[in-house]
A = this chain, B = another copy of it.
């Protein structure tokens, strides 16, 4: 079973359902970033690639990573299935619906690839990889309840199928199980990293909630939010891989930085896609953030570049009072974003963080894993095409 990564797909929150991760990475690859960034093609869909060679190179490199990790990822999948099990049938049913159905396993890939790059791996790395996926899954379950999302990975969200109550409690279960896995590694330093990341993630989610419907959210505040809610777990996943391979000091910090920048880029792309995708090819509804009054960088950019008081008033109204939105508001927002090149600016910010992520790898061992981790950076941005 393969996962089709179409142009404008939104794997951050809406990876297409699919089987094993190896399959996920070998599906059709997106077109180039420039296609998405340059105004009119924002909703063009796949194809129309210009930058074909770069795309092809990224695709091959990510395929290499997937095949390098194939055995590890299968082991992690087995571990995930084993540890989400319970005599309480609702738990594996609901968790399996979310986890087993697919997703890219990006965070476990980080843990595993970093560990392997430093010559590590083995049982503890597998457990940590499963643990970070559990933390991520728990967050997704709670996010969907909080956001009242209807779609994820192209299907109804778990809370729409089983109800909010079940999603809240099964999320708690997965979160607790993630700590069970970490404890089994016996490493207090890894526990420290992941426990801190977990509270930062929750803090980020609360920050985001507090910022909802506040049209005045600044770029700085937005970056704090995505740094906490998304990048903290990427950073911790990569750092856990370094720790699992016995690294510390500069190498550990470099990997944390790599994960953090990658995570920031990932979320920036995700937020750009929320205005650039099309429902037909996305696993979530386009404009979800807009309809929730979630102020993301495309909005901040368009609002800051607004030409008239009337445009200012538009952003103020649609963000602070989403219930006032009418049918024409989303297209108008998209048009204003095109004019102000807001999506392009957001993706440019993402590329800056990709560059920073890549630069963190320079002192790492020069092996196939490192090249694959560099390729992963490209993949994160290229999926926006």
Q: Using CB atoms, name the residue of chain B closest to A146.
A: B165
Chain B residues within 8 Å of A206, by CB: 86, 88, 90-91, 166, 169-170, 173
Chain B residues within 8 Å of A145, by CB: 164-165, 168
Q: Using CB atoms, name the residue of chain B closest to A210.
A: B90
The 0/1 profile, CB within 8 Å of B marked 1, for residues 166-177 of chain A is 101110110111
Instruction: Give the distance to chain B from A192, nearest Cβ to Cβ, in Å.
Output: 5
Chain B residues within 8 Å of A196, by CB: 180
- Bound complex: CA of A91 vs CA of B200, how far in Å? 12
For chain A, residues 166 to 208, give those with C-beta under 8 angstroms from any C-beta of chain B. 166, 168-170, 172-173, 175-177, 179-180, 182-183, 186, 188, 191-192, 195-196, 198-199, 201-203, 205-207
Given A203-B173, A207-B88, A209-B166, A188–B183 Cβ distance below 8 Å? yes
Instruction: Give the distance to chain B from A214, nearest Cβ to Cβ, in Å.
Output: 13
Given A146-B169, A168-B142, A176–B191 Cβ distance below 8 Å? no
Instruction: Give the distance to chain B from A191, nearest Cβ to Cβ, in Å.
Output: 5
Chain B residues within 8 Å of A202, by CB: 169-170, 172-173, 175-176
Q: A179 is contacted by which of B91, B164, B170, B198 (Cβ under 8 Å)? A: B198
Instruction: Give the distance to chain B from A188, nearest Cβ to Cβ, in Å.
Output: 5
Q: A176 is contacted by which of B166, B192, B195 (Cβ under 8 Å)? A: B195
* Known contacts A145-B165, A186-B188; 17 further A-B pairs (Cβ under 8 A): A88-B203, A88-B206, A89-B210, A90-B210, A145-B164, A169-B205, A169-B209, A170-B202, A172-B198, A172-B201, A179-B179, A179-B195, A179-B199, A180-B199, A182-B195, A188-B188, A191-B191
Residues on A lying within 8 angstroms of B by beta carbon are 86, 88-91, 138, 142, 145-146, 164-166, 168-170, 172-173, 175-177, 179-180, 182-183, 186, 188, 191-192, 195-196, 198-199, 201-203, 205-207, 209-210
For this complex, 11 residue pairs linking A to B, each with C-beta atoms less than 8 Å apart, are A89-B210, A138-B172, A169-B205, A169-B206, A170-B202, A173-B206, A177-B199, A179-B199, A180-B196, A180-B199, A191-B191
